Amino acid sequence: MPLLRMLLRRRKASSKSGTNSVFEAEADGDSLNAFAAGPLVQRQGSKRWGILARGQPDGTTPPAAAASAAEQTYELGAAHAECARQGAELQALRRELGAAQAAAAAAQQHLNLQRFKYELLVDLWAMRVLDNEEEGSRLEQQRNELAYEKQNYEQPVELSGGPPAGFTLTESKGDTLMSLSKDFRGEKVAVDIMVNDQPEEELVEDESGALDADVGAVFIVTVSKGSKSLVFECKSDGQYFAVQHVALEPTSEDVEDSAYTGPVYEELDEELQKHFEDYLAERGVNAELGAYLLPLIHDKEQREYMQWLDEVQRFVQ
C-alpha cells in the first residue's frame, strides 16, 4: 500500500478514535516522512484541560513527553492552588483592613468623647472658680454693708425718753408689728403700727405752691370697753393729727366682711369729728404721739435691716 494512502487511512482512523494528534507529510526524494505536529491541548473529561505530548506515528506517547505533560499539568494545578491561596489571603487582608478601619473609627469617636468631657470639665471648673469669686465678692459686699450700717447706726434722740403719755412699747425681733398700750379709766387703749404697711412718700403742694413731701405715720387706735371697741384709723406727721375712719366693732370677735364699718369720716359733721379728736387726745393719741411714731418706724426698719444682713451673711457662709 502506498505510504501516502496509509497515512490518510491512519488519519481517518485517528479521527474516528478521538485522538487529536495531527500529522504533516513532507516529501524528501523518493520517501515521505511523517511526524507529529507538536503538543496540543485538549479537554480532559468534561471540565478540565490537559497537555498532550507529541504523538508518535503509531498513536502512542513517548515516556519523556508524557512525564513533561504530567509535570506541566501539576504545575498548572499548583498555580491554580497558589492563586486560590493568594485570593484567600487577600480576602483575609480585606477583612483585617475593615476591622482596623472600624477600630480606628471607634478610637477616634472615643477620643472625641474624651476631648468633649475634658473641655466640659474645664468649662465647669472655670465657672466654679468664677462663681466662687463672685460669691466671695458678694460676701465681702455684705460684710461691708453690714459693717457700714452698724457703724453709722444711731438711735433717734426722739426715742431716748421712751413712749409718751404712759404708753408701753411691745415689739419682737423679726416682726414688723409694734404695739403701744396702756389702761385709761377702765379702758384698754392700744396703738398698732405695721412697719411694712406704711404709705410711700407723696409730694403735695403747700399754700405757697411749693412741693413738699407728705410724710406721715399710719396707725390703728383701739379703745376697748366691755364687749365693744372703737377702732380709729389715724395718721400723723408729728405736727398734725388726723382721723381717717372710725368703726364700732365687737371686742373679741372677728368682723364679718358684710358688717357695717361706719360712715365716710370726711362726711361727718365737723363738730363730731372734733369730738373724736378730743376723745383720742384725752387718751394720749395726738400729734405728740405721731412725732414719736415716725422715728420709731424708721428705727425699727433700720434695726430689722441690719438683723437681716447679719442672718443672710451667716446663712451663705
pLDDT in tens, 72-104: 888 888 888 888 888 888 888 888 888 888 888
For the purposes of burial, counting CB atoms within 10 Å of the CB of 31, is it exposed (0-12), middle (13-18) or buried (19 or more)?
exposed
Residue 51 near residue 72 (C-beta atoms within 8 A): yes
Run of H or E residues at 250: strand 241-250
Q: What is the pLDDT of residue 25?
A: 40
* SS3 of residue 199 by DSSP: coil
Give the pLDDT confidence of 103-117 residue by residue, as tens digits: 888 888 888 888 888
Nearest CA to 54 among 10, 13, 79, 24? 24
Give the pLDDT confidence of 216-251 residue by residue, as tens digits: 899 999 999 999 999 999 999 889 999 999 999 998
How is the chain split into domains, by residue range?
Answer: 3-61, 157-316
- Could you tell me the three cell numbers for 18? 478521538
Query: Is the pLDDT confidence value at 46 over 80?
Result: no
d(C-alpha 46, C-alpha 254), whole Å: 120
Give the pLDDT confidence of 121-179 residue by residue, as tens digits: 777 777 776 666 566 666 677 678 878 888 889 999 999 999 999 999 999 999 999 99
Give the pLDDT confidence of 177-201 residue by residue, as tens digits: 999 999 999 999 999 999 998 888 7
Angle subtended by helix axes 63-152 and 287-316, to nearest 10 = 150
CATH superfamily of 157-316: Mitochondrial glycoprotein (3.10.280.10)
d(C-alpha 50, C-alpha 76), whole Å: 9
The pLDDT > 90 percentage for the chain reads 37
Higher pLDDT, 292 or 120: 292
